[in-house]
Amino acid sequence: MTTLISDTEHQDRTVHRVLLGKKQVLVTEDEPLLPQLERSGILVEYQCREGYCSACTIKLLWGKVDYPIEPLAWVNSGYVLACCAIVKSDIEIALL
Ligand code: FES
């Protein structure tokens, strides 16, 4: 369930849950998924961090993400480029 959290860390931001196996991470729409996963101790492989290489591809099992700037790397349906995807709903992911 997407939630509006108002506290000193999240400051009235919409927060979404990212499910990865038995882990749950709360993320905002303020920055891409990759750095938020990293701060939670979830390491995703990456190279360019700008949407060119597709090294950060992860599987999107359900939920919605958006790309403020369309990445140059090809993204197959059901996959996400974590370095440039903004989470727009609660999602469930799997690392490759
Ligand atoms: S790290 Fe290169 S596309 Fe994400």
CB 35 near ligand 1, within 6 Å = no
- Which residue from 49, 58, 75 has its CB within 8 A of the most atoms of ligand 1, so it is best to mutate? 49
User: What is the set of domains in the chain, with CATH numbers?
Assistant: 3-94 (3.10.20.30)
8 in Cβ contact with 30 (< 8 Å): no
- What is residue 13's predicted lDDT score, i.e. its pLDDT? 84
Q: What is the pLDDT of residues 54-64, one digit of tens each?
A: 999 999 999 99
How confident is the prediction along the chain (96 residues), in pLDDT tens digits per residue? 666 655 556 567 899 999 999 999 999 999 999 999 999 999 999 999 999 999 999 999 999 999 999 999 999 999 999 999 999 999 999 999
39, containing H or E segment: helix 33-39
Structure tokens at 26: 């709360």
Residue carrying structure tokens 């905002």: 28
Of ligand 1's atoms, which has the minimum distance to the CA of residue 46?
Answer: 1
Structure tokens at 78: 């059901």
Residue 32 Cα, ligand 1 centroid: separation in angstroms? Answer: 11
The conformation of residue 36, written as its DSSP 8-state character, comes to: H
Find, among 1, 19, 14, the residue nearest to 91 by Cα.
19
- What is residue 96's predicted lDDT score, i.e. its pLDDT? 92
CB 32 near ligand 1, within 6 Å = no
38, containing H or E segment: helix 33-39
